[in-house]
Structure 1
Amino acid sequence: MLICLTASHKNAGFDLLERLSATADDAGRRMVAGHEAVQGAVVVATCNRFEAYLDLDAPEGDSPVDAVHGAIRSVGEVSGLEADELRTTFGFAHGNAVAAHLFAVASGLESVVVGEGEIAGQVRRSLERARSEGTTTPELERLFQRASQTSRKVKNRTGIGAEGRSLVRLSLELAESRITDWAQTKVLLVGTGRYAGASLAALRDRGVVDVSVHSPSGRGAKFAASHELPAVPGESFARAVAEADVIVACTLAEVFVVDRALIAAGREQLALDRAPVRTLDGAIVPVADRRQLIIDLGLPRNVDPGVVEVTGVELLDLETIKIHAPMEEFAATDAARDLVQRAARNFGDVAEELDLAPTVVALRKHVFDVLDAEIERSRAHDDDGRIESALRHMAGVLLHTPMVRSREHARAGEQRAFIDAVEALFGVTATDASSSVSGSSSAAGSSSAPDSSSASGTSSVSDSRAV
């Protein structure tokens, strides 16, 4: 059974999302270890959302409430938040609604800026992280791979995101009213991650030529070299902050990288040097009278909100960006949502068909039927049982590779290839496993196939108080 717990900009404040995001790396493992029914977990944590996609070992019709509450308790333990607060915050989806929601998220339809391009890569990396942690399952693999396929289809077939809209570009659009001439603007980029590259590209598109970079983690020199920028070392960071007209902060740091004390220290250095600086409109003024714009794209926040108390400093953070996010382009969005809904229905329709367990059982039944017939035929000549022993050993050896391959295909979300191969080679289909045979129970256990009950259910994302 697939379950989704979601907290996003639509139902949670950025303070809570910060707390969840900061501890996301440990959440998946903790949820899997925290309740026996939670077989797998993939956590999607971005600047706008924290979502947990769970694969529960629960028969169709059973209530998932206990497992869901266990998962929420695990998230609370990791993040230091009360489980009761999380229960009243998290949205909840199950069955087909899980696929519909993830496909919409991966396609940028649930982002602050509808159609933003970064989210598809973040969803993909979430699956990769779950793989490395050993918390994914075949059904979660299939779900996330279909999400990536759907997001590409939405991008290629609709106008969503055609202009490369993203939080980065929207933040710079909002900064336009404060910038007289981008070509004369001195920019300091703080961070070297995925948003740093996007920020640099967007800045250069606007004609910015004076950009330097600083990395709190020490990776600034490498990023600077690859992008032909000057790198700012740690001992020069405060001065660089004070000299910049615009500061774009986009690191994964869990502490503030820019605060009032840093700005004050940098301005003091400039004042001691009697170095006049330009304002955003190009005028030369004393350090104390200048204006600076800080754009904080980090989650957790990279910039202490208190910087606005420093004379001349303006802060543009995620909450402000959310308020100014443009309305959806209705025609493109409607077409995108139609593609998402069709993909989600198809995901549910084929879930049972692509469950490998029946095919694995059918293959084992076929092999054991042949084995039993051969043992019976040789019984008259098998006084000491050696022939039967040899035949059973050979059957086990022959089945070993198909069983291993079934698990590999399930983990890769390629169940259809295995099912088709078994039918083509042996003429065996899942319906051939209807009768009980020797070894069939062990076949189901060895297939690592997901519970097909994920195909059931049509609920939408709802308030978690329903569970």
Structure 2
Amino acid sequence: MLMVLGVSHHDLELADLERYSAGASELGVNLFNADTSVQASSPIAGVAVLATCNRVEIYVDALRFHDAVDAVTHELAAITGIEESVVAGQLHVRVGAPVAAHLFAVAAGLDSMVVGEAEISGQVSRTLRRAQREETASPALNRLFQNAARTAKKVVAGTGLGAAGRSVASVALDVAESGDLSVAGKRALIVGTGAYARVVAAALRERGCTDLLVFSPSNHAEAFAATHHARPVLAAELQAAISEVALVVACSGTTGGALDADTIALARTSQREQLTIVDLALRADISFDVRSLPNVRVIDLQTVAENAPAEQAEALIAAQDVVIAAVAEFEDDQAVRVLDPAVIALRSHVSGMVSKEMERLRGKYDEGIAADLEMAMHRVTRSLLHTPTLRAHELARSGDSAGYLSALHTLFGIELTPPTQG
């Protein structure tokens, strides 16, 4: 069964959400490879972790519901240092049909801090690619995330929601430019070189930023600068770089803060102009005491949330309709797949009978006649299995899987465990 356990900006303050974000990169592999010595087998068949600036969600293909919930809760507590009982109380759990409804809405930007934001669909796709790379994505999770990505594209194409490139970064820059700052013709510094830094670089260029510097706490500045028309800044040059810019956009997520008050104060000693700092990292890149410095304005995710514009109602309703239709289609496909193991077992059973009979006939007839007989038997087999296969799909859709399995057992002696839908 599919399930998702998560926390988001709807449930927690960003400071609390930050604690869950800290260990998200290790969560999927840890859960998938968890020691199952206490139990006969792992309760998790697949896992994918979606971690963004305003949510941490663990999508699970679960074999046993309660054991899977316990495993996720335990691992989150171990990684974050939060009491297990607190984690259990804060996690929002969805199972079955609501999982697709939620992820499709998330991918389409309908559940974001900035409704219709452009980058979330890319983050959903990257989540799947990472799970595939780490070999934690089950077939059901593959289908779920692939359909979510397709739905997001349909929303943009069919409703225009997200087509304008609205994002957390663009709203943050709108807020920055609502004061005295104008990005056009100015020099700016990006702290970080990840996927979000690419969004920021593009947004700054679109607004006319003519001189872009980049600093990487993980020493990737040169590679990023080479592909984004920017100048790399080394650690020894950071203070000088801060003294030269009008705007700093931090999005590295380095634990503990990539920029502290002392560094910025020393850099701005001879500067009288205001420095605007945009901190888009969930694990704040900017130390809290920076806010107390004179002539320094800090815009963080909380500021973005407070200034996020309302989306047009018509586009929003149209987007919701696209999501609802996509979820219905996905759930129909999921229902049909519930009896796939039974259909496979039936085909295998009949194929085994045909193979046995062909062994007998090959000893009785020459090769040419035996080959003709085999072709004829396979044609008859396909014809005979066509109707039972269609009926399986119909019964799966209507929820009467148990009746189909009972018939298989009665007629052919095939015994299968009743499937769990969702």
Q: Calculate the TM-score normalised by the size of structure 2.
A: 0.84
More deviation in 245-254 or 158-167? 245-254
Going from structure 1 to structure 2, the CA distance change for 1:451 and 1:206 (only over 3 Å counts) comes to farther
- The aligned amino acid for 1:435 is L
Shift of residue 190, structure 1, vs aligned partner: 1.3
Following superposition of structure 1 onto structure 2, how do residues 47-196 of structure 1 map, counting pairs within 5 Å? 47-58=53-64, 64-196=65-197
SS in 2 for 1:353: helix
**CA offsets, 1:152-196, max 9 Å, x none?**
111110121121100111001111122354334221111222222
Distance in 2 (alpha carbons) for counterparts of 1:354 and 1:338:
25
Shift of residue 207, structure 1, vs aligned partner: 1.6
Question: In the alignment, which of 326, 331, 345 is matched to residue 314 of structure 2?
Answer: 331
Alignment match, 2:231: 230
Going from structure 1 to structure 2, the CA distance change for 1:56 and 1:358 (only over 3 Å counts) comes to same
Shift of residue 451, structure 1, vs aligned partner: 5.4
Shift of residue 379, structure 1, vs aligned partner: 8.7
Given that residues 368 and 438 in structure 1 are in contact (C-alpha distance below 8 angstroms), is that contact kept between their aligned partners in structure 2?
no
Distance in 2 (alpha carbons) for counterparts of 1:149 and 1:38:
26
1:19 matched to 2:11: no
Following superposition of structure 1 onto structure 2, how do residues 271-282 of structure 1 map, counting pairs within 5 Å? none
Question: In the alignment, which of 365, 374, 391 is matched to residue 349 of structure 2?
Answer: 365
Going from structure 1 to structure 2, the CA distance change for 1:142 and 1:179 (only over 3 Å counts) comes to same
Given that residues 192 and 252 in structure 2 are in contact (C-alpha distance below 8 angstroms), is that contact kept between their aligned partners in structure 1?
yes
Question: In the alignment, which of 348, 360, 374 is matched to residue 358 of structure 2?
Answer: 374
Going from structure 1 to structure 2, the CA distance change for 1:115 and 1:451 (only over 3 Å counts) comes to farther
Alignment match, 1:5: 5
Going from structure 1 to structure 2, the CA distance change for 1:76 and 1:360 (only over 3 Å counts) comes to same
Shift of residue 375, structure 1, vs aligned partner: 4.8
Question: In the alignment, which of 40, 43, 52 is matched to residue 49 of structure 2?
Answer: 43
Distance in 1 (alpha carbons) for counterparts of 2:183 and 2:81:
43
Given that residues 3 and 98 in structure 1 are in contact (C-alpha distance below 8 angstroms), is that contact kept between their aligned partners in structure 2?
yes
Distance in 2 (alpha carbons) for counterparts of 1:125 and 1:220:
22
**Which runs of 5 or more structure 2 residues have no equivalent in the other structure?**
37-41, 366-373, 375-380, 393-403
Larger RCO (CA under 8 A, 6+ residues apart):
1
Kindly report the root-mean-square deviation, in angstroms, between the aligned alpha carbons of the 2 structures.
2.9
Following superposition of structure 1 onto structure 2, how do residues 185-264 of structure 1 map, counting pairs within 5 Å? 185-264=186-265
Aligned residues: 387
SS in 2 for 1:231: strand
Going from structure 1 to structure 2, the CA distance change for 1:88 and 1:34 (only over 3 Å counts) comes to farther
Shift of residue 352, structure 1, vs aligned partner: 2.7
Following superposition of structure 1 onto structure 2, how do residues 313-352 of structure 1 map, counting pairs within 5 Å? 313-352=296-335
Alignment match, 1:298: 281
Going from structure 1 to structure 2, the CA distance change for 1:229 and 1:375 (only over 3 Å counts) comes to closer
SS in 2 for 1:112: coil
**CA offsets, 1:321-345, max 9 Å, x none?**
1111111321111111111112112
- The aligned amino acid for 2:284 is R
* Sequence identity (%): 35
Shift of residue 96, structure 1, vs aligned partner: 0.6
Shift of residue 227, structure 1, vs aligned partner: 2.3
Alignment match, 1:435: 408
Distance in 2 (alpha carbons) for counterparts of 1:120 and 1:323:
23
Distance in 2 (alpha carbons) for counterparts of 1:253 and 1:148:
28
Distance in 2 (alpha carbons) for counterparts of 1:241 and 1:429:
71
Going from structure 1 to structure 2, the CA distance change for 1:204 and 1:439 (only over 3 Å counts) comes to farther
**CA offsets, 1:202-227, max 9 Å, x none?**
11222221221111222111222222
Going from structure 1 to structure 2, the CA distance change for 1:117 and 1:424 (only over 3 Å counts) comes to farther
Shift of residue 429, structure 1, vs aligned partner: 5.5
SS in 2 for 1:247: strand
- The aligned amino acid for 1:253 is T
Given that residues 212 and 229 in structure 2 are in contact (C-alpha distance below 8 angstroms), is that contact kept between their aligned partners in structure 1?
no
- The aligned amino acid for 1:235 is A
Given that residues 248 and 295 in structure 1 are in contact (C-alpha distance below 8 angstroms), is that contact kept between their aligned partners in structure 2?
yes
Shift of residue 151, structure 1, vs aligned partner: 0.8
Shift of residue 426, structure 1, vs aligned partner: 7.8
Distance in 2 (alpha carbons) for counterparts of 1:439 and 1:253:
60
